[in-house]
Amino acid sequence: MNEVLTVAMLVVMAIGVFSGFPVALVLAGTGFLGFVAAVWVGITDFQHLGLIYLRARGVLTNESVQFTSVPMLIFLGLILNASGVAETMFRLLGRLLTAVPGRYAVATLLIGLVLAPAAGVIGASVITVALVAYAPMMASGYAPRTAGAAVAASGALGVVFPPAVMLFFISNVFYLRIGLMYVALIVPVLLMVMAFAIYFAVTLRKTIEVPLDAPKTNLASDLLFVLASVAVIASIPLSIILGFATLTEAAGVGVFGALLVALLRKRLSFSSLNSVTVQTSTMTSMVFFIVLGASVFSLSFHLVGGPDVIFNWISAFDLSRWELLAMLLGVVIVLGFVFDWIEVLLVFIPVLMPIFSELDFADHVGSAYFAQIWIAGLIALALQTSFLTPPFGYALFFAKMAAPKGINLSDIYRGAVPLVAIEIALIAALISFPQLITWLPEMSLGDADAPRLIQR
């Protein structure tokens, strides 16, 4: 009976999501139906209906999970976008990278890192980059597939670069310190940017790039504002890692810095502030409705024994730990095709957590704790890869949505394939050399706080 209820809940949820009905309501409704079904077969009774309220309240009031930082991180990214820092940074990078082949593609990648906070909502990041990067790349003779792929890759980069919102949810799912999750992804993402930049430099080495026809501005002023914006974003993970502030406090200071940058650039009007506030409220409401829906679904799914059923199904394949890890990462990539990362992290990863918990890579990584950080980092990169993978990647659709005439979705697909191959190769390298993920977290922990490491 547990297997029947497990399959029924997953099928009902999938049908609801694919029907286009609001995901939060689908999750909550499926969870409630699952609870009723559990009562009907005698697994529980209606006296435990209050568990749904207690579960939802417990999730939102958990002091160890700083949900108050989520709206501030979203607001921070949107304010920086509204301040026009992306356009200014693109123009400066175009001038600084004159001697680099494919300079506009490389500049597009670097913008994605600066816009990391806004990349929690990937559409906002991709479209912002597209507005400033498409025109100069096309004017310089870039092939449509190259321009589209560069924009999509840039928008997807910030999803896994601190202080991206997605890393907050991953650290919450794996019960990890947010500061360690932040530093764990720095080296992998920088390696990814380097690999993408080398690819574009090699493939565009014969392209004659037309200098960007930009309005005359004060170079020193532009440079100052770009550096200030970078400092605002960098201050969030740094203050957390160094122990100066909690995530909520750091995000609050970051918001103040972003407002100051926008004010000094004379881009902070009542109209723009109102627009950003409304967008933040809309995105935050979406996130928290999904959090509540996922908590209801998760409770009912555990009541019917869903995690145990899935664990038994996968265990029946008798896979080695490496095969199991590869299969799970593949499942995450496929889930990222059809579900938003919030749904993947709040619904599916908790379902798969019993399997992840059984994976013992302490001897390979150095300790059980850092093995968890390593696996969490691999999941983050697998999700990010799904955003770029044809034919379902979210970043590809948004890159087409903001593309000028002459760029087709098929062009963007062709341009993204080599980048996806690079990402898969990077994930394979990170699996083989876990120190690329765990080195900075190990360095950031003091001797007293660091888990005991196994001698490699």
420-447: per-residue pLDDT in tens? 999 999 999 999 999 999 998 888 776 5
The H or E element containing residue 152 is helix 144-157
Say yes or no to pLDDT of 241 above 80.
Answer: no
Please check whether residue 359 is in contact with residue 378, taking contact to mean a CB–CB distance below 8 angstroms.
no
Averaging pLDDT over each range in 192-206, 210-224, 297-311, 326-340, which range is the top one? 192-206
Residue 455 has a pLDDT of 43
All residues at 6 or more sequence positions from 346 whose CB lies less than 8 Å from its CB, including other chains: 169, 173, 290, 291, 294, 295, 298
Bigger pLDDT: 191 vs 28: 191
Averaging pLDDT over each range in 105-119, 232-246, 267-281, 295-309, which range is the top one? 267-281
- Over the range 248-269, which residues count as b (16 or more CB within 10 Å of their CB) and which as e? ebbbbbbbebbbebbeebebbe
Instruction: Give the global pTM.
Output: 0.79
Residue 419's nearest CA partner among 393, 445, 443 is 393
271-330: per-residue pLDDT in tens? 888 988 888 888 778 777 877 887 788 778 878 887 777 777 777 777 888 988 998 898
Decide: residue 439, CB within 10 A, 0-12 exposed, 13-18 middle, 19+ buried: middle
- Over the range 113-136, which residues count as b (16 or more CB within 10 Å of their CB) and which as e? bbbbbbbbbbbbbbbbbbebbbeb
All residues at 6 or more sequence positions from 216 whose CB lies less than 8 Å from its CB, including other chains: none
Residue 375 has a pLDDT of 93
Distance (Å, rounded) from C-alpha 49 to C-alpha 53? Answer: 8
Phi, psi angle pair for 66, to nearest 5°: -85, 75
All residues at 6 or more sequence positions from 233 whose CB lies less than 8 Å from its CB, including other chains: 76, 80, 114, 116, 117, 163, 254
Residue 456 has a pLDDT of 40
Query: In the chain, what percentage of residues exceed pLDDT 70?
Result: 89
Say yes or no to pLDDT of 204 above 50.
Answer: yes
355-413: per-residue pLDDT in tens? 887 788 988 988 888 999 999 999 999 998 988 888 777 788 778 877 888 788 888 88
Report residue 59's pLDDT band, with 50, 70 and 90 as the boundaries: low
Distance (Å, rounded) from C-alpha 65 to C-alpha 60? Answer: 8
Distance (Å, rounded) from C-alpha 395 to C-alpha 337? Answer: 10
Residue 210 has a pLDDT of 64
Report residue 113's pLDDT band, with 50, 70 and 90 as the boundaries: confident
CA gyration radius, the chain: 23
Say yes or no to pLDDT of 123 above 70.
Answer: no
C-alpha distances out from residue 385 to 241, 259, 395, 418, Å? 26, 32, 10, 12
Q: Give me the half-sphere count of Cα atoms (radius 13 Å) on the Cβ side of residue 361.
A: 26
Averaging pLDDT over each range in 63-67, 93-97, 199-203, which range is the top one? 199-203
Residue 41 has a pLDDT of 81
The whole-chain average pLDDT of the chain stands at 81
Distance (Å, rounded) from C-alpha 347 to C-alpha 298? Answer: 7
Using the Cα atoms of residue 173, residue 168, residue 9 and residue 394 in order, give the sign of their dihedral. Answer: negative
Please check whether residue 102 is in contact with residue 200, taking contact to mean a CB–CB distance below 8 angstroms.
yes
Please name the amino acid found at residue 62.
Answer: N
Report residue 336's pLDDT band, with 50, 70 and 90 as the boundaries: confident
